[in-house]
Amino acid sequence: MEKKRLYLSSPTMHGKEQEFVKEAFDTNWVAPLGPNVNNFEKELAEYVGSPHAAALSSGTAAIHLALRLLGVQSGDIVFAPTLTFSASCNPIVYENATPVFIDSETETWNMSPEALRRAYEKYPAPKAVIVVHLYGTPAKLDEIMAICKEHGTPVIEDAAESLSSTYKGRHTGTIGQFGIYSFNGNKIITTSGGGMLVSEDASLIEKARFLSTQARDAARHYQHSQIGFNYRMSNVIAGIGRGQLLALEEHKALKKEIYQTYKDAFADIPEITMNPLNVDGDANCWLSCMTIAESSTVTPNQVMDALEAENIECRPIWKPMHLQPVFHECDFMTDKGSGEFSSVSEDIFNRGLCLPSDIKNTQEDMDRIIRIVRNQILGADV
């Protein structure tokens, strides 16, 4: 008999979602506007402590609109971390601008302030900097914000993976000029697909709503003075979001528990290190990840093969953008990496993997995963 399938991070619904969706149907607000959209914006903004939010069709759309609102265009440079999901960087190319990729540091796996400084020496006037809080761990925001401020560059926080994580008491996504969140299927809360753009600037968020609904001028006839997008969130799925938001703190607590369970279970194995959590923050632990020491003969692929053979979903670390065929012409600023690999991000990619972090996994499920990983690393028979 096939073993029970265990997931990396699958949607967890609670019932409240369907009530808000039913309300949308009952009132016939089945459209990319309506009370659920307005309320989801208000409730999320309140939760993260940002005054203004625009609900959009995806996190990618939110990044794209942030770049558009900052005036990024052809010929501009935008700094972005190399260790991230491609969606962080693709919108730079949508605007015909050029990404310059920045290496990670070892303490949070996020953008290295050292490498960022070096990037400014070569490219003194980037139009924007995108910072990512990978796997839910806040980046070194104080250092990064200070460097960007020194150069007058606006910062977009890609908090797609870090909704509910805080840095020095403030929510990730609310510290840069713009913050973006994603509600894709495997994020900490989901609407099946969706995103949010937040900012302290009311006029910029109003402009984002305008651009996301085809940029229609305030005229009775259909008049357009700018190119718009169809990026608004539907009122049906905003209902899912409102329900999910009520469970966000519970999801975070469970994700943190999963991380701690792995950490404790591998504490006696020096070859295993869990992904870092920023000491200046409270990470949501969206995905629990581990790296295997260089001294070990076991590779992440072997561990992933062993998990997959037991019907357990896992995933490599994001492949750095500077190693992607599609970005092969882009420049990359390295941190002073150590070890046999040429950069910190590449080293994490080569030695790391993402462990199943689904909040519906039981203690028994966790024991099953942990036993397989331990046996792989310690070389025992499964």
Segment contacting ligand PLP by CB under 6 A, of 39-47, 81-89, 123-131, 258-266:
81-89
Amino acid 189 reads I
Cα 36 from Cα 236, distance rounded (Å): 7
Q: Which is nearer to ligand PLP, 184 or 199 (CB)?
A: 184
- Nearest residue to 24 (alpha-carbon basis) of 7, 37, 6, 43: 37
Q: Which is nearer to ligand PLP, 209 or 368 (CB)?
A: 209
- 157: its two tokens: 């926080």
Number of Cβ within a 10 Å radius of residue 203: 10
- Nearest residue to 108 (alpha-carbon basis) of 348, 361, 298, 372: 348
- Kindly state whether residue 60 participates in binding ligand PLP, applying the rule CB under 6 A: yes
- Kindly state whether residue 335 participates in binding ligand PLP, applying the rule CB under 6 A: no
Q: In what order do the strands lie in the sheet with 352-354?
A: 272-274, 289-292, 352-354, 315-316
- Kindly state whether residue 304 participates in binding ligand PLP, applying the rule CB under 6 A: no
- Kindly state whether residue 182 participates in binding ligand PLP, applying the rule CB under 6 A: yes
Q: Which is nearer to ligand PLP, 77 or 287 (CB)?
A: 287
- Kindly state whether residue 132 participates in binding ligand PLP, applying the rule CB under 6 A: yes
- 102: its two tokens: 């920045």
Cα 83 from Cα 320, distance rounded (Å): 5
- Kindly state whether residue 84 participates in binding ligand PLP, applying the rule CB under 6 A: yes
User: Binding ligand PLP by CB under 6 A: which of 17, 105, 161, 313?
Assistant: 161
- Kindly state whether residue 177 participates in binding ligand PLP, applying the rule CB under 6 A: no
Segment contacting ligand PLP by CB under 6 A, of 39-47, 120-128, 153-161, 221-229:
153-161
User: Binding ligand PLP by CB under 6 A: which of 41, 95, 114, 158?
Assistant: 158
The answer to whether 182 touches 57, Cβ cutoff 8 Å, is no
| Residue-wise DSSP of 297-345 | S--HHHHHHHHHHTTB--EEPPPPGGGSGGGTTS-EE-----SSSSSHH
Helices 16-26 and 235-245, packing angle to 10 deg: 150
Residue in the block written with tokens 């940029």: 215
- Kindly state whether residue 244 participates in binding ligand PLP, applying the rule CB under 6 A: no
User: Binding ligand PLP by CB under 6 A: which of 138, 179, 195, 300?
Assistant: 195
- Kindly state whether residue 357 participates in binding ligand PLP, applying the rule CB under 6 A: no
Least distance to ligand PLP, CB of residue 194, Å? 7
Interface residues with ligand PLP (CB under 6 A) are 58-60, 84-85, 87-88, 132, 158, 160-161, 182, 184, 195
